[in-house]
């Protein structure tokens, strides 16, 4: 689990940088200011949660594997796809109904971080 989440976190962080650069260099001239702000929000949350996935991998290496950590990593990945992915699609396509998907991704982030906190609190000091 440690290697899997470390690898996914690194790949998703790299993808965040690439998507951010694409927006800054290619899309900036074609998107409206408000659409660009939506796109940038997607990039910011994408990177923050990619780093979170790296932290889950490190925690698994330090604390040992657990169901909560597995769920945490999976929910953060799902959150990136649903939250950031819907914001990317919304900003580029302008299809407003895609905004209905964004809160589902936000809930994935919230539950993922809650599970991580529960795992941390459940660990005894060594």
- Whether this prediction's pTM lies above 0.75 is answered by yes
Report the candidate in 60, 57, 52 with the shortest Cα–Cα distance to residue 13: 52
Domain range for residue 68? 2-122
Maximum Cα interatomic distance, the chain, rounded to a whole number of Å: 55
**Domain total of the chain:** 1
Q: What CA–CA distance (Å, rounded) separates 51 from 14?
A: 10
User: pLDDT in tens for each of the 126 residues of the chain?
Assistant: 999 999 999 999 999 999 999 999 999 899 999 999 999 999 999 999 999 999 999 999 999 999 999 999 999 999 999 999 999 999 999 999 999 999 999 999 999 999 999 999 998 775
Q: What CA–CA distance (Å, rounded) separates 2 from 67?
A: 13
């Amino acid at each position: 689990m440690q290697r899997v989440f470390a690898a996914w976190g690194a790949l998703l962080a790299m993808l965040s940088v690439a998507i951010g650069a694409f927006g800054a260099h290619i899309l900036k001239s074609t998107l409206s200011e408000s659409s660009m702000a939506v796109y940038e929000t997607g990039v910011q949350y994408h990177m923050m949660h990619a780093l979170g996935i790296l932290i889950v991998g490190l925690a698994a290496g330090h604390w040992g594997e657990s169901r909560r950590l597995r769920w945490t990593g999976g929910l953060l990945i799902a959150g990136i796809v649903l939250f950031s992915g819907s914001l990317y699609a919304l900003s580029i396509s302008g299809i407003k109904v895609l905004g209905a998907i964004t809160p589902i991704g936000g809930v994935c982030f919230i539950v993922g971080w809650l599970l991580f906190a529960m795992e941390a609190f459940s660990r005894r000091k060594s």
